[in-house]
Amino acid sequence: MPPLVLVLNGPNLNLLGTREPATYGHETLADIAALCGRSAEKLGLKIEFRQTNHEGELLDWIHGARARCAGIVINPAAWTHTSVAIRDALVASEVPVIEVHLSNVHAREAFRHHSFVSPIAKAVLAGFGSHGYHLALEHFSHTLKG
Ligand code: DQA
């Protein structure tokens, strides 16, 4: 069985493609899901790709990852900068986490420079656009499959 990696996306990422294209590009979330699907197949991983605008739903998905998933790739979007609950859920899951941002959050407004997730993540990728998701999956393929 290939290792299962959860790819989770937070609020407003369903609007990609039309949302601030100068910052986030023209790719839609469906494009990124397809890219992740192709990467996973090539890398020998199984993925579940999800997005929500409801924090409780994201928490439930993270809780469900415990003992079921080998890795979590997460773009927590705005909750990166606000949510202790998401950080605590990720810690409780005991699943290795890679945090991904499409944009380079450190080159943007000061309120985006702090992340509640980064200190508990295995790695952080910011500014690679959708390629960041591929890089995160590549890393999990490398580490999970030895
Ligand atoms: C984002 C960066 C966040 O600051 C922002 O709130 C997002 C998207 C990114 O992928 O660059 O919604 O996570």
Q: Which of 105, 108, 115, 128 to mutate to test the pocket of ligand 1 (most atoms within 8 A of CB)?
A: 105
Structural domains in the chain plus CATH codes:
4-145 (3.40.50.9100)
Residues 104-113: contacts with CB under 8 Å, at least 24 apart: 105/80, 108/23, 111/81, 112/80, 112/81
* Whether residue 133 lies in the annotated active site: no
Which of 26, 63, 101, 139 does the annotation list as catalytic?
101
137 pLDDT higher than 70: yes
Per-residue pLDDT, 146:
64
Q: pLDDT tens digits, residue range 26-52?
A: 999 999 999 999 999 999 999 999 999
